[in-house]
Amino acid sequence: MKLNRDVTVRINWFLDNVVPPFLRDSRMFMGVLFWLLFRDKAARFLDFKEQAPGLGEAGLRALYKELRNSHLERDTDLNRECLQRILSDIVGETVLDVGCGSGYVARRIAELGLKKVAGLDTNLPQEARSDQRVQWLEGSAEFLPFATGAADTVVCSHTLEHVVDIERAVAELRRVAAMRLIVVVPMQREYKYTFDLHLHFFPYPFSLLKLMKNPEAICVVIGNDLYYCEERQGQNAG
């Protein structure tokens, strides 16, 4: 099934805001929807919230790899408006896309004709590596294999909700970003059963701002995503 982000945003909004919470947390009710989407892997998604705390980083990485694109074969989790905002907010000549997934966003950034674009993901699919305009690396957002200030702009979209040590990941993103940091997370409520394998949830703009702790940054809602942008000039000095 190939559903773009603009369609699934509407579906998620309906489930989060119209379906009563007691049904959202009902395994019987949600199990039917999960079976329609995931079939033989439905139980893996239904059990994720209870099992995730005991899996550890290696276990989570293996599970994400196993279930990648189990139900939604799409190029990117970003909606079109959010993607365009990212492309228009790129500054400098070097960009790092952390949590690049299939590499779609990194390839779109490379089309801007910048000096250097890198894409990093814990489970980088082989097909992403074919584009020679991008430097592809496997690695974790919590331990970025880059020097301080290595990229003028660092982009991290639909990734922080998946990482185990989210505070460390944010610190690493800031360490590597020399001029600008762009973060995008889905604006989603936490329920026991959700279609996405998320560890962290951001139902409101202040949910993300509470994590980022930068009152001067931009944080806006774009198509049911939270778009965050902060300036890093001089922040890594010393």
pLDDT digits (tens, 9 = 90+) for 32-56: 999 988 889 999 999 999 999 898 8
Tens of pLDDT, residues 135-163: 999 999 999 999 999 999 999 999 999 99
State pTM to two decimals. Answer: 0.91
| Residues contacting residue 25 through CB under 8 Å, at least 6 positions apart | 191, 192, 193
Three-class SS of 111-158: CCCCCEEEEEECCCCHHHHHCCCEEEEECECCECCCCCCCEEEEEEEC
- What are residue 141's phi and psi, to 5 degrees? -65, -25
The candidate with the shortest Cα–Cα distance to 120, out of 143, 151, 97, is 97
pLDDT band at 77 (very low <50, low <70, confident <90, very high): confident
CATH number of the domain encompassing residue 18: 3.40.50.150
| CB atoms closer than 10 angstroms to residue 86 | 22
Distances (CA, A) of 168 to 49, 142, 143: 21, 6, 8
The residue segments making up the domain with residue 89 are 1-238
| Domain count along the chain | 1
